[in-house]
A and B are shown apart, each in its own frame.
Chain A
Amino acid sequence: MEKKNIMDAPVLYDEQNTFRGVMKRLFRENKLAILSLVIIAIFVIGAVFAPWLTPYGYEDIDPINRLSGLSKEHPLGADELGRDVLTRLLYGSRISLLVGIVPTIISMLAGAVLGIVAGYMGGRVDSVIMRLADIMLAFPSMLLAMVIMYTLGDGIINIFLALALVNWASVARIVRAETLKLREAEFVEAARSIGVSNFKIMWRHIMPNCIPSMIVLFTLNIPSAILSESSLSFLGLGIEKPMASWGMMVNIGRQYLYNNPELSLVPSIAIMLIVLAFNFLGDGLRDVLDPHLKKQ
């Protein structure tokens, strides 16, 4: 045992998948993703500091300036009640980001747990979970969300529920596919050979290996949730009335489209920007995290 081994090379530092490593490579390879990150950051700052960024509240009425167009008092115009569009846009970004993130997290967690259990256990458990997922996916998701919202009534919590319920199935499918692959991996067998229980194998060995694809899925699911919320709000099935949501603002502006296009245009552009930003970020992350797509 005294012998020095030739293979004991010094420990190499590898920047592979640490947070800093990913960011560095993202910066090097994908400037668009970095730009997206900046745009998202701006919206987040706007949402968090909304009360300090504008002198108005989101339901403050200024009847003299209603439908005034772009002006000094109202840089992005005022709506039919004279509410400041910029203010409502900032407050609306709170709703949009929240709706983008919270139901996505819920559906990711539910989908990941169900997907891992289905993939790892196999057999009857797998069949039951995946048939449920198939049923969810067979419904047109927008219609399903509308039905849920219609039955539960307006309100942000109900939006969370509706969107989470609509989205978990696709997550479960992807995670299950990943699990099926990992289940056959030798390290899972090795873990079993040292007496690790099934639950611990799923939690400590399979789940962490799914995380890269889940991060990508997360960033790609956020914009679809934001879009769904906007569509629901546009159709009048969104949040409760005095609160501002981008979809609702587009809907209100619709009636004044000829004389005051900014009322619909400004929130539409905001929706487009944030959705594109999240999509580009997701694409960039996928390129960085998935070794198979690298360097083509």
Chain B
Amino acid sequence: MEKMTLQVNDLCTSFFTDKGEIKAVNHVSFDVPKRSIIGIVGESGCGKSMTARSVMRLLKYPGKIVSGSIAIEDKELTALTEAEMSNVRGEEISMIFQEPMTSLNPVMKVGKQVQEVVLLHRKVTKQEAKKEVIRIFEKVGISEPEKRYECYPHELSGGLRQRVMIAMAMICRPKLLIADEPTTALDVTVEAQILELMKNLRDEIGTSIILISHNLGVVAELCDYVHVMYAGRIVEQAETFELFDNPKHPYTIGLMNAVDSLEKKQGVLDTIPGTVPNLLDLPEGCSFEPRCGKRCEKCVECVPELHEIAPGHLVRCHACGQEV
């Protein structure tokens, strides 16, 4: 078996609110092989961001990891103290966020912010750190790096800010980069550039990437493996080509149909009827059952297990070829 950068096993994250426990991440397991890009897709509120935050251990109160293990190259993250975790963040795992507009401190020069990471994790002088920052700025395609070093965030465009964020995340050559909808706030041309950049960095530095997105196009473009999440659970996982050629779970099929394409030539987009179930009050059976076109009695009774229907292709559905 090839070596894994990250192994998440049976992870459960819940929010303990006044109204009860919200199971945002529900028995999620996945692996990130070395030098691969895996995608996590799903609609808003399906737990994809919470999975990422759990891996970073950046959950906000009242969120908590209830059970499960998160291991980055044999280092168990759930067992680390807060101080040890601080050392892991930025050094071994780092994250880029959705909103490049607000992810940078508005009163600090961007160069200084990137330099901060180097000074935190490496024993270098300020001059050396600055040189390193300028080098990474060049690498992520920021022109005139010396000049931009002295800029404040509001003086940069959205795409440049996201590049700065990527520089900040990549400067310590982490083993894993978590990109939480990195291009949602950017326009399409800039989006393409940023995705290209991430791909190049993966090839060059050898970082594995978890890409969180609700944009199937982006995922298809970039990822090696795709995990589809629904209501806190992974409902289907497969290699990208396999998943897009041969989607099995009714939810995945619904998602694909909801994507517009020029060939379809139809007036109205397909949608999945109904809404995401309330996480406070999940159905006893399959959580997709109320919206599913292929439901049977079994679906109401119990939650289907993830089972393999083809090599590497796992589906959580009673209707999908369990007997095969």
Q: How far is the CA of A230 from the CA of B272 in the complex (A)?
A: 73
Q: Is the CB of B155 within 8 A of A11?
A: yes
Does the CB pair B97–A190 fall under 8 Å? yes
Q: Tell which of A31-39, A194-202, A219-227, A264-272 binds the partner.
A: A194-202
Considering the complex, give the chain A residue whose CB is closest to the CB of B147.
Answer: A11
- Chain A residues, CB < 8 A from B99: 186
**B254 neighbours in A (Cβ, 8 Å):** none
The answer to whether A195 touches B108, judged by C-beta atoms less than 8 angstroms apart, is no
Q: How many residues of B contact A (CB 8 A)?
A: 48
Once bound together, how far apart are the Cα atoms of A122 and B139, in whole Å?
A: 40
Set of chain B residues within 8 Å of A17, measured between Cβ atoms: 107
- The contact of B141 among A1, A12, A197, by CB within 8 Å, is A1
A3: chain B residues at CB < 8 Å are: 141, 193
Residue pair B104, A14 in contact (C-beta under 8 Å): no
Complex interface: stretch among A127-135, A203-211, A245-253: A203-211
Q: Nearest chain-B residue to A17 (Cβ)?
A: B107
Q: Mark B85-110, 1 if CB is under 8 A from A, else 0.
A: 01111110011011100111111100
- B169 interface residue, CB < 8 Å from A? yes
Does A255 interact with chain B (Cβ within 8 Å)? no
Q: Which residues of B contact A9 (CB under 8 A)?
A: 157
In the complex, what's the smallest C-beta–C-beta distance from B195 to chain A, in angstroms?
Answer: 13
Of all chain B residues, which has the CB nearest A193?
B95
A-side interface mostly: loop
Contact of A190 among B104, B120, B159 (CB under 8 A): B104
* Interchain CB contact (< 8 A) of A16 among B94, B154, B165: B154
- Let me know if B168 and A194 touch, CB within 8 A: yes
Q: A13 CA to B105 CA in the complex, in Å? A: 18
Q: CB within 8 A of A193: which of B94, B147, B148?
A: B94
Interface string of A115-157 (1 = CB under 8 A from B): 0000000100000000000000000000000000000000000
Report the minimal beta-carbon distance from A207 to chain B, rounded to whole angstroms: 10
A211 to B105, CA, bound (A): 13
- Select which of B94, B97, B200 is within 8 A of A186 by beta carbon: B97
Q: A6-B189, A14-B154, A194-B90 are in contact. Are A189 and B121 (CB under 8 A)?
A: no
From B58, B90, B97, B159, give the contact of A7 (CB < 8 A).
Answer: B159
Rounded to whole Å, the gap between the CB of B203 and the closest CB of chain A is 11
Size band of the A side of the interface?
20 to 34
B107 touches A5 (CB 8 A): no
Q: Are the CB atoms of B97 and A189 closer together than 8 Å?
A: yes
A187 within 8 A of B: yes
Chain B CB count within 10 A is highest, among A5, A12, A194, for A194
- Measured in the bound complex, the distance between the Cα atoms of B155 and A11 in whole Å is 7
Q: Which of A158-204 contact B (CB under 8 A)?
A: 185-187, 189-197, 204
**26 A-B residue contacts at CB 8 Å?**
A1-B139, A1-B197, A5-B193, A7-B160, A8-B143, A11-B144, A12-B155, A13-B155, A14-B154, A16-B154, A122-B61, A187-B103, A189-B58, A190-B103, A190-B168, A191-B105, A193-B89, A193-B90, A194-B89, A194-B90, A194-B116, A195-B88, A195-B91, A195-B117, A197-B83, A211-B107
Please report B residues at the A interface, Cβ cutoff 8 Å: 56, 58, 61, 83, 86-91, 94-95, 97-99, 102-108, 116-117, 120-121, 139, 141-144, 147-148, 151-152, 154-155, 157, 159-160, 165, 168-169, 189-190, 193, 197, 200
